[in-house]
Amino acid sequence: MKTKRSRVAILVLALVAAMLVLGRLGYDAFLGKEDLDGPCTAIPDPAVTTQPAPPSAGPADWPRWRGPNGDGKSAQTGIRKDWAGGLTRLWQVNFLCQDSRTVTWSAPAVRGNRLVVPGRASGRDLVFCLNPATGAVLWQQSYEAKAGMSHGSGPRATPCIDGDRVYTFGRGGHLASWQLADGKQVWLRNVEELGGKAPTWGHSSSPLIHGDKVIVQGGGKALVAAYEKMTGEPAWQAMEGKAGYAAPIVTQTPAGPRLLVFHGTGLACLDPVDGRRFWSIPWKTAYDANAATPLVSGATVFITSGYGVGCQALTLEDAGPTVLWQNKAIASHHSDPVLVDGHLYGYSGQSTQNKGHFKCVALADGAEKWSTDLLGWGTVLYVDGHLLCMDIDGNLFLVKPDPGECRVVTQFRAALGPIKHPAWTIPVVANGRLFLRYIQRMVCYEL
C-alpha cells in the first residue's frame, strides 16, 4: 500500500514539475527575455572625414518593408545558385544594440549607397546609416525613447526610404523623419500624442508612404495614424482599438487607392487620403497578434495569423468583402508568404521553435499543394526566380518555386554563425548583396 502511495506521489510531483517547466517556458516565450548574443562592439565614429557622396539609387534597391513593391520580391537578378562552398562574406558589424536589454529586430532598408537600420542603446533608439558596400558608418542619430522590455526594447519596424528622406518608427511609438544624406532630424512625433497605445510587444508596423503622407498603426484612439511626410503634422487618424503588428499597405482598385490595415482584432479597408473607413471585419487571434502583412493579388486579399488560427482569402470591395475560402493551411505567426504564379509559398507555425512547415498553397481555392518540414521555421523572400528562405537558426535555403514539389536548389548552413536566439529578422537582397540582421549583428554576403 505504501509503495503504491509512493508511486502516486512521485507521479504527481513529476506532473507538477513538468507543468512548472512548461509554464516557465511559456512565460519566457511570452515575455521574451532575449539578450545580446555574441560580440558587441562600441559604436565607431563615422568613417568619413569629408562629406559622404550624395545618396544615389541602385539597380535593385530594397527601400522599405517587403521590398520596392511591398510584395516580398527583390529586383535582383543573376544571383549565385550554388552555395556548396558557402558565400563570400563582405563585412560584419556588431554594434547595432549596446546592452543586454536593447534587443532589436528591425530589418534594413537599402537605396544605392545608403543602408539604414535601427538599433538601441540604454534609453535611446538609434538610427544607423551604413555604407552597404563596406559596413562603415556614414552617420548615426538617436533620440530618447522609453520602451517596454518584452522581446527587447529596440525597434521592430523597418525604415522607409522615400526620396531624400528616411522614416523610422520605434517600439515606443516615435515616428521620425531624417535626411538620408547626413542624418539630420527633420521631425519627430509620437503616436501617443494622438491617443495611440502600444500593443503587448510594442509598436511594430513599418511606416508606409502614400503620396504626401506617412501612415502607421498607432493603436488606442489612433488605431491608424497619418502624418504629413514633409512636416510631421498629423493629417488624420481613424478608428479606435488594439494595434496589430502588421505593416499597412495600399493597393490600387478601379475605385481608387485603398489602405488595408491588419489591426489587433481584424482587417480594415480605408481611404488613404482622408482615413475614411469602408469596412472592418473581425479576425481574432490569441494576444491580438495579427502580424503578417496582407497580400493582395488583383481583387483578392490574403491574410494569415498564427496560434492555430489559419488563413483566409477574401474579395476587395468597398461595400464589404466576401470570403472566398478559409482554412488552416498556412497559420503564420509573423512570417510573410510570397505569391508566385498564383501560389502562396510560406511558413506555417509558431516562431518559438525551428519546427514549422513550409508550404505551397493555391491562392484561388486554398488547396495545399505540398508541405515540408525540411526548412525549419523562418522567413522567405523572392529573388531571381527563386525563394530565399532563412530558418530561425540562421540556415539559408534557395528553393525553386514549383506547385508540384519542394525543390531545394542549394543551402548555406549557419550563415549568421553560432546563435542562441531565434533569427526572426527577414533577409534583405539589394544590389548584389545579401544582408542578414541578428540583434546587434549584421552580416553582408556577396550574392
The residue-averaged pLDDT of 356-380 equals: 96
Q: What is the pLDDT of residue 19?
A: 38
Q: Mean per-residue pLDDT for 74-78? A: 98
Residue-wise pLDDT tens digits, 125-181: 999 999 999 999 999 999 999 888 788 889 999 999 999 999 999 999 999 999 999
b/e map of 371-400 (b: 16 or more CB within 10 Å)? eeeebbbbbbbbbbebbbbbbbbbbbbbbe
260-272 confidence digits (pLDDT tens): 999 999 999 999 9
Local structure of 68: helix, strand or coil: coil
Give Cα 178 distance to the centre of its chain.
21
Q: What pLDDT is attached to residue 99? A: 86
C-alpha closest to that of 110 among 442, 430, 379: 430
Average pLDDT for 381-404: 98
For residue 249, give the nearest of 270, 264, 230, 219 by alpha carbon.
270
239 has a pLDDT exceeding 50: yes
Residue 3 has pLDDT above 50, yes or no: yes
Long-range CB contacts for residues 190-194, cutoff 8 Å, separation at least 24:
191/216, 191/218, 191/219, 191/222, 191/225, 192/218, 192/220, 194/218, 194/221, 194/222, 194/225, 194/234, 194/237
List, in sequence order, the alpha helices (H) in 110-238.
Answer: none
What percentage of the chain exceeds 90 in pLDDT? 85
pLDDT recorded at residue 175: 98
* DSSP character string of 234-265: EEEEE--B---SSPPEEEEETTEEEEEEEETT
Residue with cell 562603415: 136
SS3 at position 192: helix
Quick check: 125 and 131 in contact, CB under 8 A? no
The predicted structure's pLDDT at residue 252: 96
With 70 as the cut, is the pLDDT of residue 25 above it?
no
> Is the predicted pLDDT of residue 8 greater than 60, yes or no?
no
d(CA 194, CA 196): 6
Mean pLDDT estimate for the chain: 92
pLDDT of residue 361: 98
Q: Is the pLDDT of residue 350 over 80?
A: yes
| Greater pLDDT, 10 or 103 | 103
For residue range 28-46, list pLDDT tens digits in order.
455 677 888 999 999 998 8
Is 370's pLDDT higher than 80? Answer: yes
- Per the model's pLDDT, the better-predicted residue between 203 and 13 turns out to be 203
Q: What percent of the chain has pLDDT over 70?
A: 92
The yes-or-no verdict on residue 12 having pLDDT over 60 is no
pLDDT, one tens digit per residue, over 183-200 is 999 999 999 999 999 999
- The model carries a pTM of 0.92
Looking at residue 306, its pLDDT comes to 96
Please tell me the predicted confidence (pLDDT) of residue 150: 83
